Structure 1
Amino acid sequence: MTSARRVAIQFDDGPSHYRTETLRILREKRVPGVFMDTGARVAANPHFARFQLAEGHQLLNHTHSHANLDEVLDREGPDGVRRELAAAEAAFAAAGAPISFLGVRPPFGAANAQVRQIIADLGYTAYLTRIGTDDWVPGRTPREISDAIVDQLHPGAIIALHDGPYDSPAGPGTNGGLALLIDAVRERGYHFGAVGPHGDVVEHRLTPTDQPIPVVENPVPYAPLGFPGEPPEPYVILG
C-alpha cells in the first residue's frame, strides 16, 4: 500500500494503568504506537518505557509534568520551557529508554510563537496538527470515540488518543475504542505507520517480541482532576 494511505496513532500522557491493555491490543493488531509520555510517569513506572522501545514502538516527549508550556513561559521564562523538556529526556534516559528522536507534543496543544521557537531551537519537532476527540472526558463510549476519529480520517493523519489522561479519571472508553478504531481505519484502506522527525507519517511495521507486557507497579502521578471520579489504584494526585 502506498504512503498516501498511511496514518499513525499517538497516545498522550502515559504511562498509566491503561497502558497494559493498550500494549496488548497493539501487539494483537500489529500496530505501532507513538507514545508521547510524561517524564514524571515514566519515572514512576520506567519498565513501560523500556518495554515499548523493545517492542518496536516510539517514545517521544510530552514534557515532564504535563505542563502547559505557554503558562510555563509566562511564569518561568524560556528556561522553564527548556527545563520541562530536558527533565523528561532525563527521565527517559534514567529508565534506560532514551527518546526515539527529538519530538514533542506540547500538552493541551499549547505552544505560542515564542514556545514554538524555543522548541525548534532545541532541535525538536512539535506535533501540533492531529485528529482526535474528547476521549479525556469520562463517560465517552468506545463507539463514540472511534466514530469521531474515523469521520476525520485523511492520508497522513496523526490520530490522537490519551492514556489515563493526566487530569482526568477517563480511560476505559479509549481502551475500549482502540480495537474498534484500528479495524475501522483498516477497513477504509489505511495502514499504520509511525511519525517521522519532520512531522510526517512514515512507514513502520510492528514485529512484537515475546516479552510479557508490563503492568503498573508504582502509583501513577495525576494532576488535580478536572472531572469527578477516581483513577484506578495505585495513583497519586500531585499538588
Structure 2
Amino acid sequence: MSKLNGPKEIALTFDDGPDQLWTPRVLDILAHYQVKATFFCVGQMVKYNPKILERIVKEGHVVGNHSWDHPDFTKIPLLAVQEQIERTSDQIEKVVGVRPRMVRPPYGAVNEEVIQLLAASDYEMILWDIDSWDWKGLTGPQVARNILGHVTPGAVVLQHSAGGTKDTLKGSMDALPYVIEVLSEQKYTFSTVSALFQLAAYRERTCPVEKRRRGR
C-alpha cells in the first residue's frame, strides 16, 4: 500500500466511528496540530451520530466506507456485502452530501469475489501498512511504538475512533499527539488517503434525470 521513494508523507486513518466518546477527542487532537486524516465510518454509527460526521467533514477530513455493522465480508453472501457497502454510502450521503469511493473491509478481510465486486462497482479498496493495535487496550507508549517503529514514507496507519469499552482507546488518544510531534520533527507531513494516492475520495454527483433513470 505504501508509496516508496516519494515525499515523506503519511496517512493517519481512523476506523469504526463516528461515536460521541472517542471521535471528538481524535478530532480535537487533529485540529490542534492542523492535521487532516481519513475516517472509515460504520453506517449504523453514522446513523446514530450524524452531527459527529458533519464535524469530520466540516473540519476537512475525508470519509470512507467501513460497512454498515462491521461483518467479515468473507463470511457473508456477496449480495450482503454489496448491501453493507451501499447502505453505508447512502447513509453518509444523506448526512453530509458526499458518497465515498474508498472502502475499508472490516478486519481487512477480503477474498477474490469481494475484490472483484469492489472493482466492478468502482470502489477503491483501502487497507493499511501499519497497525497500531490500539483496540487491544494498549498503553499510549505501546501504541506509539507500534506506529513509530514501522513508519516509512507513504505509509497508511490504522487507528480507531470508536469501539470497545470506555477505556479501550485511551492509549490511542494518549499516543496520537506524541506520534504527530515525533513524525513532524522527522519532517513527515500528514495527508488524507485520497490525496496520498491521488484518488477521487467521492463519487461525482449525478443529475436528477440520471438518478431517475437508475431508479433511485
Q: TM-score with structure 2 length normalisation?
A: 0.84
Pairwise CA distance, 1:3: 5.0
Which residue pairs with 1:116 in the alignment? Answer: 115
Q: Do residues 11 (structure 1) and 14 (structure 2) align? A: yes
Q: Do residues 143 (structure 1) and 141 (structure 2) align? A: yes
Does the 8 A contact of 2:41 with 2:63 survive in 1? yes
Which residue pairs with 1:179 in the alignment? Answer: 177
Pairwise CA distance, 1:200: 2.1
Per-residue CA deviations over 1:168-209 (Å, capped at 9, x if unaligned) read 551111111110111111122211011128x8278xxxxxxx
Pairwise CA distance, 1:67: 1.4
Task: State the secondary structure of the residue aligned to 2:89.
Answer: helix
Pairwise CA distance, 1:164: 2.1
2:32 to 28, 32, 35: 28
Which residue pairs with 1:162 in the alignment? Answer: 160
Within 5 Å, give how 1:204-223 maps onto structure 2: none
Which residue pairs with 2:72 in the alignment? Answer: 68
Pairwise CA distance, 1:91: 1.1
Judging changes above 3 Å, is the alpha-carbon distance between structure 1 residues 162 and 145 closer, same or farther for their aligned structure 2 residues?
A: same
- 1:19 alignment partner AA: T
Q: Which deviates further from its counterpart, 21-30 or 87-96?
A: 87-96
Which residue pairs with 1:192 in the alignment? Answer: 190
Task: State the secondary structure of the residue aligned to 2:39.
Answer: strand
- 1:200 alignment partner AA: F
Per-residue CA deviations over 1:62-91 (Å, capped at 9, x if unaligned) read 00111111112xxxx221110000010111
Distance (whole Å) between structure 2 residues aligned to residue 96 and residue 131 of structure 1? 29
2:61 to 53, 57, 62: 57
| Contiguous gaps of at least 5 residues in structure 1 | 203-239
Does the 8 A contact of 2:13 with 2:159 survive in 1? yes
Task: State the secondary structure of the residue aligned to 2:90.
Answer: helix
Q: TM-score with structure 1 length normalisation?
A: 0.76
Pairwise CA distance, 1:14: 0.5
Distance (whole Å) between structure 2 residues aligned to residue 88 and residue 127 of structure 1? 16
Which structure shows the higher helix fraction? 2
User: Aligned residues: percent identity?
Assistant: 26
Pairwise CA distance, 1:97: 4.2
| Contiguous gaps of at least 5 residues in structure 2 | 200-216
